[in-house]
Amino acid sequence: MNLHEYQAKEILAKYGIPVPPGKIAFTADEAKQIASEYGDLVVIKAQVHTGGRGKAGGVKLARTPEEAREKAAQILGLNINGFITKKVLVAKGLHIAKEYYAGMILDRVSQRVVLMLSKEGGVDIEEVAAARPHALIKYPIDPHKGLRPFEARELVKRAGMEGNLNKLADVLVKLYQAYVGIDASTAEINPLVITDSGEVVAADAKIVLDDNALYRHPDLTPLREFEAEHPLEVEASNYGFSYVKLDGNIGVIGNGAGLVMYTLDLVQRCGGKAANFLDIGGGAKADIVYNALKVVLKDPDVKGVFINIFGGITRADEVAKGVIRALDEGLLTKPVAMRVAGTAEEEAKALLKGRPVYMYPTSVEAAKAIISMTGGTK
Amino acid sequence: MSILVNKDTQVIVQGITGREGAFHTEAMMKAGTKVVAGVTPGKGGQTMLGVPVYDTVKEATKHHRVDASIIFVPAPAAADAALEAAHAGVPLVVLITEGIPTLDMVKAVAEIKAMQNVRLIGGNCPGLITPEECKLGIMPASVFKKGRVGLISRSGTVTYETAKALSDAGYGISTCIGIGGDPIIGTTFKDLLPLFNEDPETHAVVLCGEIGGSDEEDAAAYVKEHMKKPVVGFIGGRSAPKGKKMGHAGAIIMGSVGTPESKLAAFAEANIPVADTIDDIVELVRAKLG
């Protein structure tokens, strides 16, 4: 689950990391009001779940409350990578001397949380990593010991960061405490600013939470914003499906993430494009298949559906029953190509015999068929 | 021969009294697995599917020779269950549970890897099977025929399809391991390749990888240096967009890490032919084994 910058900063502040004072505004007038409270330079930042806000015009400075109102009016409603800006953070401006980078991510190779540190902050860190790998320090943290202050100090020195060593090291130690405390999967401060007066401040922050651990953070669960997600993804998650909206026109339903991924690959190999990823999971009954069809067919981009089932614990006849229910209720307004194999395959075929559903013996044939039924290859 | 499990493997089930645990214990027994006991804290003394239930793994190991444990404990308690089995001296721990908090796994995997003689497989995995001898997992045993191809996979259903295709083609499976779709797992491809390398009944190995992480690249490096047997590869999720989690928590492309291009290049470098479809896997195995 992605958090907004202002939510991430609230969490960091709770763990003792200095952040600039800031408040959320939903209207330009509110932004003006907040700016007049601060009475100084403010920065107005779009709060959207996407990167590249600066380049898209979603971050602006304002020197007066009136200017803050104008700039907020420009940013509110702005479309940034498909996300409409509905709120802005109005934060007190900083007098920046240096911009650094500090981040923590889960690293699969070391199987640990890795601290990343660079004195080249305030820019896209992936670009720094690609262009100058030595400018980015990576340090795997022992999960049983945590990040100790002496390690943090050594890392600050290694990164060549200037400024108050103890304050910088303290931010790193607290960032790790926050990471573990909220079960994050990513926690980044970029830039980590040294001000003219030598203060160390998290000027921007990004936190992604581990969905698997949300159950133990009931205080963080309400931060999920359904309007920031695709409505079909929200509906699918309410049914317990793993669903990802994609940009093609063939709806895909399958059982098992690996098989669904494979099905998407096949559609692409055969010249088509999938409209979604939908995994009905293991052991699905007829009503689950019916609900899956309902979600997929709600997508106006979908011109046809490809159901690919390998029966193991999932019984193919249950899948067939779900499809028949959708047929009987007139839900199947688009062509459906199916391929079922494995447990109860013959029963499924018998149930679907004579029904207006196209059955194919192999995944490849089903993929080719649904592509030609939906307008052919592009 | 086979790797990790065979007809003599004695198994306990952690979480045997739960719905999933009970269902799959019965299926494992039907497939011939020697389930000797179950463990559910607070339910010690009961009998389940004809085997005794203990409160702790330690009690189970006191009364039985335990070669392996399979875990169906709910996600919040799953990593702890794996540690319990490891500390009780169970040499093979298979963690089926899906949705375990990642930092729980970071700690558990670090602790278990530091122990000698314990292997953790999973979590979020279908388990492993030596066909017609021992099923330590949730796969449909009927599609696995005994044979000579070793199969390692990050996915469930793709594994079953591949196993069925190889079985139908007459090659069969020596041992099949589903290593799991999570970012932090106990055993990766490269940990298992040396075992297949030494197993006389495994004549070829199929690696079913997918996008995300760099386990396939590590495996390719091992194959290039050490593998004495032919290896065939497969990569799922080649059409997936960047930054989107495709069902498996581990199947996500982050920046330049985890891309299919990187994995295909590594396989090419190690002379591992890559199948575009599951049917092609069989054809590539046929090209190697005849």
Residues A237 and A362 in one domain: yes
pLDDT of B255: 61
- B171 annotated to bind ligand: no
Q: Is A327 inside a domain boundary?
A: yes
Average pLDDT over residues B149-173: 94
Spatial distance between the Cα atoms of B98 and B96, rounded to a whole number of angstroms: 7
The enclosing domain of A55 has a CATH number of: 3.30.1490.20
Q: Is A4 inside a domain boundary?
A: no
A244-A247-A252 Cα angle (round to 5)? 55
* A-chain residue closest to B247, CA distance: A257
The enclosing domain of A216 has a CATH number of: 3.30.470.20
Residues A85 and A113 in one domain: no
Q: Is A5 inside a domain boundary?
A: no
B128, β-bridge pairs: B136, B177
User: What is the CB neighbour count within 10 angstroms for residue A222?
Assistant: 7
Are A210 and A185 in contact, with CB atoms under 8 Å apart? yes
Q: Two tokens at A49?
A: 């779940």
- Say whether residue B243 is in contact with chain A using an 8 A CB cutoff: no
Residues A114 and A29 in one domain: no
Identify the domain boundary among A33, A63, A92.
Answer: A92
Residue B224 to chain A, least CA–CA distance (Å):
19
Residues A189 and A287 in one domain: no
Judged by CB atoms closer than 8 Å, whether chains meet at A259 and B157 is answered as: yes
Judged by CB atoms closer than 8 Å, whether chains meet at A112 and B106 is answered as: yes
For an interface test with B, the pick among A211, A261, A346 (most B C-beta atoms closer than 10 Å) comes out as A261
Residues A161 and A250 in one domain: no
Spatial distance between the Cα atoms of A68 and B133, rounded to a whole number of angstroms: 72
Residues 29-48 of A with CB under 8 A from B: none
pLDDT of B7: 95
Judged by CB atoms closer than 8 Å, whether chains meet at B102 and A341 is answered as: no
Strand order in the sheet with A276-279: A242-245, A276-279, A250-254, A304-311, A336-342, A358-359
Identify the domain boundary among A92, A109, A142.
Answer: A92
- Say whether residue A277 is in contact with chain B using an 8 A CB cutoff: yes
Residues A262 and A196 in one domain: no
- B201 annotated to bind ligand: no
Alpha helices (runs of H) in A204-303, residue ranges in sequence order: 231-238, 257-269, 286-298
Sign of CA pseudo-dihedral A147, A150, A156, A162: positive
Residues A243 and A368 in one domain: yes
Catalytic residues of B: 248
> pLDDT at residue B249 above 90?
no
pLDDT of B123: 93
Which residue shows structure tokens 């065939």? B232
Residues A310 and A238 in one domain: yes
pLDDT of A365: 93
Spatial distance between the Cα atoms of B214 and A6, rounded to a whole number of angstroms: 33
User: Chains A, B: CB contacts under 8 A, how many?
Assistant: 157
- Say whether residue B238 is in contact with chain A using an 8 A CB cutoff: yes
pLDDT of B130: 97
**Rama region for A342: left / alpha / beta (φ>0; ψ in -120 to 50; rest):** left
Are B230 and B204 in contact, with CB atoms under 8 Å apart? yes
User: E strand or H helix at A251, and its extent?
Assistant: strand A250-254
Alpha helices (runs of H) in chain B, residue ranges in sequence order: 19-30, 57-63, 75-87, 102-114, 157-168, 189-198, 215-226, 260-269, 278-289
Residues A160 and A26 in one domain: no
Alpha helices (runs of H) in A94-229, residue ranges in sequence order: 125-131, 149-158, 165-181
Q: Of these residues, A6, A38, A100, A101, which one is catalytic? A: A101
Q: How confident is the model at residue B114 (pLDDT cuts 50, 70, 90)?
A: very high
What is chain B's length?
290
Residues A253 and A353 in one domain: yes
User: E strand or H helix at A307, and its extent?
Assistant: strand A304-311
Q: Is A74 inside a domain boundary?
A: yes
Q: Two tokens at A186?
A: 């990513």
Which residue shows structure tokens 């940009």? A247
The values of phi and psi at residue B263, to 5°, are -70, -40
> pLDDT at residue B34 above 80?
yes
Are A248 and A273 in contact, with CB atoms under 8 Å apart? yes
Spatial distance between the Cα atoms of B268 and A102, rounded to a whole number of angstroms: 36
Strands B231-236 and B274-275: parallel
> pLDDT at residue B174 above 90?
yes
Q: Is A10 inside a domain boundary?
A: no
B52, β-bridge pairs: B47
pLDDT of A228: 64
Which residue shows structure tokens 């989107």? B244
Q: Is A3 inside a domain boundary?
A: no
What's chain A's average pLDDT?
A: 92
Q: What percent of chain B has pLDDT over 70?
A: 96
> pLDDT at residue B283 above 90?
yes
- Say whether residue A136 is in contact with chain B using an 8 A CB cutoff: no
pLDDT of B68: 98
Spatial distance between the Cα atoms of A365 and A372, rounded to a whole number of angstroms: 11
Q: Of the candidates A109, A258, A363, which has its C-beta nearest B155's C-beta?
A: A258
Judging contacts by C-beta atoms under 8 Å, the chain A residues touching residue B138 are 282, 312-313
Q: Of the candidates A212, A267, A312, which has its C-beta nearest B102's C-beta?
A: A212
pLDDT of B252: 63
In terms of residue numbers, what domain contains A344?
Answer: 230-372
Identify the domain boundary among A160, A192, A223.
Answer: A223
Are A172 and A141 in contact, with CB atoms under 8 Å apart? no
Domains and CATH numbers, chain B: 10-122 (3.40.50.720), 139-289 (3.40.50.261)
Residues A122 and A183 in one domain: yes
The enclosing domain of A288 has a CATH number of: 3.40.50.261
Judged by CB atoms closer than 8 Å, whether chains meet at A261 and B240 is answered as: yes
The residue ranges of chain A whose pLDDT is under 70 are: 226-229, 376-378
Residues A237 and A368 in one domain: yes
User: What is the CB neighbour count within 10 angstroms for residue A289?
Assistant: 25
Q: How confident is the model at residue B248 (pLDDT cuts 50, 70, 90)?
A: low
Q: Is A325 inside a domain boundary?
A: yes
Domain total in chain A: 3
Q: Is A255 inside a domain boundary?
A: yes
pLDDT of A24: 96
pLDDT of A341: 87
Q: Of the candidates A183, A212, A256, which has its C-beta nearest B157's C-beta?
A: A256
Single-letter code of the amino acid located at A134: H
Average pLDDT over residues B29-45: 97
Q: Of these residues, A188, A318, A358, A360, which one is catalytic? A: A188
Spatial distance between the Cα atoms of A102 and A136, rounded to a whole number of angstroms: 10
- Examine residue A271 and say whether the peptide bond preceding it is cis (omega within 30 degrees of 0): no
pLDDT of B125: 93
